Amino acid sequence: MSEGTAGPWLVVGLGNPGPEYAGNRHNVGFMVADLLAERMGGRFKAHKARAQVVEGRIGPPGPMSRRVVVAKPSSYMNLSGGPVTALRDFYKVPVEQIVAIHDELDIDYGALRLKLGGGDNGHNGLKSMTKSMGAEYHRVRFGIGRPPGRMQVADFVLKDFSSAERKELDYFVDRAADAVEALVTEGLERAQSAYNS
């Protein structure tokens, strides 16, 4: 498919809207999306698909550069599928050019895993997306680790990162944004070999 006919990539940070959720572990997808928008030199604007979007390009100037729509659904996490499907239809994005950035309990804090397709592992944002459009989209899984002691998963993901975690958070978010750029410009295998940890 030549660059002229290729639709844009749709990169979706998953999270919950509103300031009370902004620093939560569950919102790390929004944090990565914010950094990507900043790198693209764009500002989020409201879209009729119930999302905030930035349109631009990712990658070095020239043939490696890709058109990208970075989005943050304005719905709660468990309803992410509706806005993402509406954006997919609006921008005419094939499902294999959709990337979801999300928190992942089964990976150590700060580690990344990139993959195409798969289950939702109990993640409500992925569950909603898969229900709306199938599972064959890319995922950038950002490790947040497991809750300590007997803390419930729901309480853990809706808490802010700890002060110890926050010391490294900017570095890990930066690395996740690099991984998204590598995935979009160089393909899954090269991005996996560079960033899967």
Q: How far apart are CA 125 and CA 100, in angstroms?
A: 9
- CA–CA distance, 135 with 38 (Å, rounded to integer): 29
Contact in structure between 77 and 26 (CB atoms under 8 Å): yes
Place of tokens 């631009």: 56
- Cβ atoms within 10 A of the Cβ of 19, count? 6
Alpha-carbon gap, residue 113 to 105, rounded angstroms = 12
Q: With beta carbons less than 8 A apart as the criterion, state whether 82 and 98 touch.
A: no
> CB–CB of 11/36 below 8 Å?
yes
Catalytic residue among 26, 102, 123, 138: 26
Is 26 catalytic? The answer is yes
Active site residues per annotation: 26
